[in-house]
Structure 1
Amino acid sequence: MNAVVIGAYWGDEGKGKIVDMLAANSDWVARFNGGDNAGHTIVANGKEVVLHVVPAGMVQGKNVAIGPDVFFNPKTFFADYEGVLKAGFRVNGRILIDERAHVIMPYHIALDAGGEASGKLGTTKRGIGPVAKDKASRTEDITICDLVSPGLREKIKAVVAAKTAELVAVKAIEKAADAEKYAEAAYAEYAPYAEKIRPYVGSCAYELNAALDSGKTMLLEGAQSTLLDVVHGTRPYVTSSNCTAGGAAANLGIDLRKFKIIAVVKAYPTRVGEGAFPSELGNYEDAKKEKKGETLTAAEKKNAVDGDQGLLGKWIRQDGREFGATTGRPRRTGYPDFVALNYSAMINGVDEWAITKIDILSGKPLKAVVAYEKDGRKTTRFPFKLEGWKPVYGNREYFWNAMAESEIKAAVAKGYDALPGGMKEYIRDLVIATKTPVSMVSLSPEREITVTKDVLKRTMEYLR
């Protein structure tokens, strides 16, 4: 099966696990967007691996490709690679890095950390915004092709010279006269990477299309998610690349008609940083103060069940370990949002949902957004400017008790019908609201604890 795997909300849905699972039956896994501002966590064989640039298929020993619209940090790439090896996995497949991919340089990170916009937008300060600006400018960008070319030193010098005033402004260098020394230091750091990367450099468009033509199977792995897409997301609080399924085709130069589109939807939405979040539980200021590993008392859990949304949001955040794999920042949590998911299904042409972290909602009451309201107007469309819109919830409340380990194992073995009734009610309403069936339900970060038997069959029945 050829498939595109994308996220449905604002990221952190567990795409790494789903790609890792599907990679078992794929020849290639290609990353098509983003940079090391994303983190995909994989739990397999009792070990956890967090990947930021390397496609998740490497853990399965598959051929992996990094596409031309990926913002490539070589230091992070090799850290990912070493992390896979240290976790005990073998790197058996081929590695392909597209010659057109743009390289994150030290000055991109300095400009991101010191820039005014990064604070307002809550960026990860990994240099993504500045490298994307260079890509758009077309004259100050450094590609993988440039990185492995004999003219790298002169190219870096020219770009640093053009950016001297900016680098002084953010205190990356003290004065303009230091620019040449700064450029030499950047070259000295990156020249060794160039030699190590050289054997992997090629063209994804040619290599991947040739693989498809020869009958090889392929996964296209997205970073971030639909509502962070630079075009279709909740601007200005978005990333700098195309995160939708259409972006996979455009970025890699591949015919999307050959692929099934699977969107990973976490059972509850989360959001990192600023930006409107209609179904948010509690508020971001309180979330910022939380530390990973905090526990709720029995009294606090009772209050959450009785309607304290702030405590319910904290409970979900702590049980779901909702702290960024890349930044460590607490993620904001919210009630399920069927309006956002219907929009995501529409613009991506989603064929199937893969639901993750639904186990985290066990024992917690929830409801779902079915419309938005603002100034007396109601809409079921996802607004371009989301600020000020309030959630309108459906009449149904969902609840199910936590599944015992024996019940989880039984559900994996027996299939969809063995899931709790309240969970299936929630899944049914999600499917009907989005007109899209579900093909898998994850009950744990571990690869093996996923229900697939009869899931697609049963959820397609909801649409008849």
Structure 2
Amino acid sequence: MFGDRHLIVVDLGFGDAGKGATVDWLCSPEAGLDVAAVVRFNGGAQAAHNVVAGGRHHTFRQFGSGTFSRVPTLLSRHMLVEPIALATEARALARLGIADSLSLLYVDERALLTTPIHGAANRCREDTRGASRHGSCGIGIGETASYALSHDAPRVADCRRPDALRRKLIALEEHYRPLLAGGAHRFDPIDDLIDVYTEFARAVRILPGDQLTGFADNGRLVFEGAQGALLDEWRGLHPYTTWSTVEPRNARAMLARIGADGYVLGVTRSYMTRHGAGPFPTEDPALSIPERHNGTGPYQGGFRIGHLDPILLRYAIDACDGIDGLAVNHLDAVGDIRTATGYLTEGGYVDRLDRGDWQDLDHQQRLTDLLEAATPALTALPADVPGYLEAELGVPVLLTADGPDRADRTIRIRATA
């Protein structure tokens, strides 16, 4: 279906489109793709990739979504690693029959550490924004990335060097002391954190670099993205973006360094969703679609549902510098879903968004303003949703799903490499 190319799985919306379930199927015996490893190439512990397979359900956050099939996970240098949350996730996997999940985990020593100090600072900052919150998960992802821009930040390699780790944690705590004054959000003492991180370093395999060649020699790599391209730190809709490169540039670069090629598989639902604040032109509160695994988060906000939006999907494909194929999920939920043919705006009718210069954040802000005021022109969604999306987006649909379980996934066509 994909030839001998490695796979890069990326969400074309605002997240929650079914990346985890797609990766689970790609790694499963049913797919027969001989996957050697799942490589996480962005995001951190805020990911929530729900997988339902064989009577088991797990929300994958840092472990790759191929873990049910015992496919190893490589947390790349582009991941923000949270060891305490990893330990919690390992215990949850053990209850589901994966008793040795940490033995399946490899971590690039250059990856940044997200600590409870970052998380407390994140929540404090969001508290000060009040009704103007950006939709953060409150885990500390943005603080981890922003602190590292100008400071000697804690990294996975430091978990093997307690003295260096202590120095960095003390500096981190001192940096955030003014923001954390008042103690509304607390965290464990630094000595306790060092004990936890030292144990983490003993429990997992920490690698000096990507080490992709060794994994690729044993089979296909599946790069599992987090969040959605419309939230990308540079190409998303500001200011409602993440501190992470969601589009597949980093995954492509990692493959290029080992002389390999990647097939980019974009993932979407048959309708649009958004978790938290930000523009959502086709949102329709009257839609009633059961959502088993997403709810309201104290910092992220509510889970929102809207009609299919090919205009935003085309913009996301542009943000990804093109994709090779599509996976379309939730085809069992089309019901009252319609599709947008364009937007009615103050400047007239718009059916394609101008990507502009990706480095021009003012342009992205203007797009946000346009979308927040836009009224979608909606029409009936054709019965053949995959065929409709192929025509609208110019990309073949390879995988479809009409339910949440691995067994609900179907190969639609067999594409050439």
TM-score normalised by L of structure 2: 0.85
Letter in 2 for 1:278: P
The structure with more helix, counted as a fraction of residues: 1
Is residue 71 of structure 1 aligned with residue 53 of structure 2? no
Cα deviation digits, residues 360-391 of structure 1 (max 9, x gap) = 12x32x32122233213233333532224324
**CA radius of gyration, larger in:** 1
Please state whether the residue corresponding to 1:97 is helix, strand or coil.
Answer: strand
Corresponding residue of 1:142: 154
Q: Using the alignment, how far apart are the partners of 1:324 and 1:247 within structure 2?
A: 31
Identity %: 24
Is residue 360 of structure 1 aligned with residue 333 of structure 2? yes
Aligned to 1:39, which of 48, 51, 59?
48
Q: Is the 8 A contact 1:41 1:325 kept in 2?
A: no
Q: Is the 8 A contact 1:59 1:91 kept in 2?
A: no
Letter in 1 for 2:309: D
Corresponding residue of 2:108: 98
| TM-aligned CA distance change 1:215 to 1:200, over 3 Å | closer
Q: Is the 8 A contact 2:238 2:368 kept in 1?
A: no
Q: Is the 8 A contact 1:13 1:356 kept in 2?
A: yes
| TM-aligned CA distance change 1:56 to 1:319, over 3 Å | closer
Please state whether the residue corresponding to 1:423 is helix, strand or coil.
Answer: coil
Letter in 2 for 1:67: S
Corresponding residue of 1:397: 380
Corresponding residue of 1:17: 21
Q: Using the alignment, how far apart are the partners of 2:218 and 2:141 within structure 1?
A: 35
Unaligned runs of at least 5 residues, structure 2: 355-363
If asked which structure has higher relative contact order (CA below 8 Å, sep 6+), I would say 2
Q: Using the alignment, how far apart are the partners of 1:142 and 1:15 within structure 2?
A: 29
Q: Using the alignment, how far apart are the partners of 1:109 and 1:90 within structure 2?
A: 28
Corresponding residue of 2:199: 195
Cα deviation digits, residues 417-444 of structure 1 (max 9, x gap) = xxxxx531x3222111110010011011
Please state whether the residue corresponding to 2:162 is helix, strand or coil.
Answer: coil
Q: Is the 8 A contact 1:371 1:393 kept in 2?
A: yes
Is residue 86 of structure 1 aligned with residue 90 of structure 2? no
The structure with more strand, counted as a fraction of residues: 2
Q: Using the alignment, how far apart are the partners of 2:297 and 2:398 within structure 1?
A: 26
Q: 1:275 deviation in Å?
A: 0.7
Aligned to 1:112, which of 105, 115, 122?
122
Is residue 386 of structure 1 aligned with residue 399 of structure 2? no
Q: 1:130 deviation in Å?
A: 1.0
Corresponding residue of 2:314: 342
Q: Using the alignment, how far apart are the partners of 1:60 and 1:204 within structure 2?
A: 25
Letter in 1 for 2:193: E
Q: 1:344 deviation in Å?
A: 1.8
CA RMSD of aligned residues (A): 2.6
Q: Is the 8 A contact 2:23 2:222 kept in 1?
A: yes
Letter in 2 for 1:352: G
Please state whether the residue corresponding to 1:368 is helix, strand or coil.
Answer: strand
| TM-aligned CA distance change 1:329 to 1:155, over 3 Å | closer
Is residue 423 of structure 1 aligned with residue 388 of structure 2? no
Aligned to 1:154, which of 164, 167, 174?
167
Q: Using the alignment, how far apart are the partners of 2:26 and 2:98 within structure 1?
A: 17
Please state whether the residue corresponding to 2:59 is helix, strand or coil.
Answer: strand
| TM-aligned CA distance change 1:195 to 1:275, over 3 Å | same
Corresponding residue of 2:143: 130
Aligned to 1:53, which of 37, 62, 66?
62
Please state whether the residue corresponding to 1:163 is helix, strand or coil.
Answer: helix
Corresponding residue of 1:455: 413
